[in-house]
Amino acid sequence: MAKSKLDPQKLTGTQKSAIFLLYMGEKFTAEVFKQMENEEITKIASAMSEIDEIPPEILHAVTEDFVKIYEDTNRLIVGGESFLKNVIGKSLSAESAKKIFREVEDSKREQPFIWSHGINAATLTGYLKSEHPQTIAMILANLPPEISAEVMVGLPEEKKGDLALRIAQLGQVPEEVIRDVDEALKRELSSIGKGGGRGGGIQVLVDILSNVDKATEDIIMENLEEEHAEMASEIRQLMFVFEDLKSVDDRGMREILKKVESSQLTLALKTASEEMKNKILSNLSSRASEMLLEDLEVMGPVKLSDVEAAQQEIVNAAKELEADGTISLGGKGAGEVLV
């Protein structure tokens, strides 16, 4: 099975635990597992089974103080699944181990098209161009949103609006249909993957649009407004963009700014409205505000795509804070932010 690429900025607590235990070895992990509940072991075991190697930057993010003894050029190669079998076999009874392995396999099947993380988006886009629009829509609805967004950007402009409408109107797709398409894609692209599927719908389309570039978003929304004005209005209400952050209260904004690097913030403000700039500056210290303004003044021409990417990263940080309950965000155009 193709493994998901680890991102040091997006590691979950479970992934970090899995990486640390893989690094520490089987004996240490077996002892740790003896102190844990089966549910906890299952979560970590599932994460372990998805890891084949731990790049140095990931090891650095997880081990922190201990990484000083580890060279940047080193790369820890691990057999996640074989390691897992040895550890669980040493720490649990045969019946419990069998149950956990079954749950790990089930958890993998619950992730549709997980193999797509290892596929070049251009390759996937080229393959899908010749498919029927309804098939493309169904596949995009089941791929991770960031991958669907890359594919959508690469498709012909005249197809984007129609595909967006099909995704939004797509109902629940039978699991056997998803499996058939999944298998066909795996064979064609020399990848392996398992999983059931999900339906489409407005939220699926919103997730995809949140990851495409501004030009693609504009093309799709213009088409939807012409063909289905009510749907377009609903989508705009659900979408949340960088400028919407000006409606976040000051406490929430300060929490967001804690997660943003100064260089990223400077780039994001390149095209921001005065109201958005003032919102951010008012929630920084006097010195930080001065430095930010100075950086903006000396910044030369930059790619619009880079600015949009920086803005999206800040929006993503805000959404993560909302997800863990730290702040609350309203939909696009919302007059109030819940706190």
Tokens of 288: 């930080």
Examine residue 336 and state whether it is found in any structural domain, yes or no.
Answer: no
Lowest mean pLDDT among 8-17, 79-88, 188-197, 257-266: 188-197
119 shares its domain with 231:
yes
Examine residue 328 and state whether it is found in any structural domain, yes or no.
Answer: no
Q: Where are the alpha helices (DSSP H) in 269-303?
A: 274-281, 286-298
Q: Average of pLDDT values for 94-106?
A: 65
138 shares its domain with 59:
no
Which one of 109, 133, 167 terminates a domain?
Answer: 109
pLDDT tens-digit readout, 271-290: 889 999 999 999 999 999 99
Count of structural domains, the chain: 3
> What's the CATH code of the domain at 213?
1.10.220.30
150 shares its domain with 191:
yes
pLDDT at 283: 93
pLDDT tens-digit readout, 70-99: 333 344 444 455 555 665 666 666 676 666
Contact 260, 317 (CB under 8 A): yes
pLDDT tens-digit readout, 290-316: 999 998 888 888 888 888 888 888 988
pLDDT at 281: 92
Contact 281, 293 (CB under 8 A): yes
pLDDT at 278: 92
| Residue 319 vs residue 83, higher pLDDT | 319
Task: Please list, in sequence order, all residues whose beta carbon lies within 8 angstroms of the beta carbon of residue 25, skipping any fewer than 6 positions away.
Answer: none
Examine residue 276 and state whether it is found in any structural domain, yes or no.
Answer: yes
124 shares its domain with 210:
yes
pLDDT greater than 70 at residue 107: no
Give the Å distances, CA to CA, from 137 to 19, 107, 166, 169, 176: 36, 25, 6, 10, 17
175 shares its domain with 263:
no
pLDDT at 284: 92
pLDDT at 64: 61
Examine residue 272 and state whether it is found in any structural domain, yes or no.
Answer: yes
Across all residues in the chain, what is the average pLDDT?
75
> How many residues are given for the chain?
339
Which one of 76, 91, 109 terminates a domain?
Answer: 109
278 shares its domain with 296:
yes
Q: Residue 144 CA to chain centroid, in angstroms? A: 7
pLDDT at 200: 61
99 shares its domain with 126:
no
54 shares its domain with 129:
no
221 shares its domain with 173:
yes
Q: Residue 232 CA to chain centroid, in angstroms? A: 24
State which of 43-57, 69-83, 155-169, 227-241 shows the largest mean pLDDT. Answer: 155-169
| Residue 254 vs residue 209, higher pLDDT | 254
**Nearest by Cα to 321 from 214, 249, 267, 243:** 249
Give the chain's end-to-end CA distance (angstroms, integer).
43
Name the residue range of residue 58's domain: 13-109
Which one of 109, 125, 141 terminates a domain?
Answer: 109
136 shares its domain with 232:
yes
200 shares its domain with 286:
no
Number of alpha carbons in the 13 Å side-chain half-sphere of residue 239: 23
148 shares its domain with 261:
no
| Residue 96 vs residue 319, higher pLDDT | 319
Q: Average of pLDDT values for 158-169?
A: 88
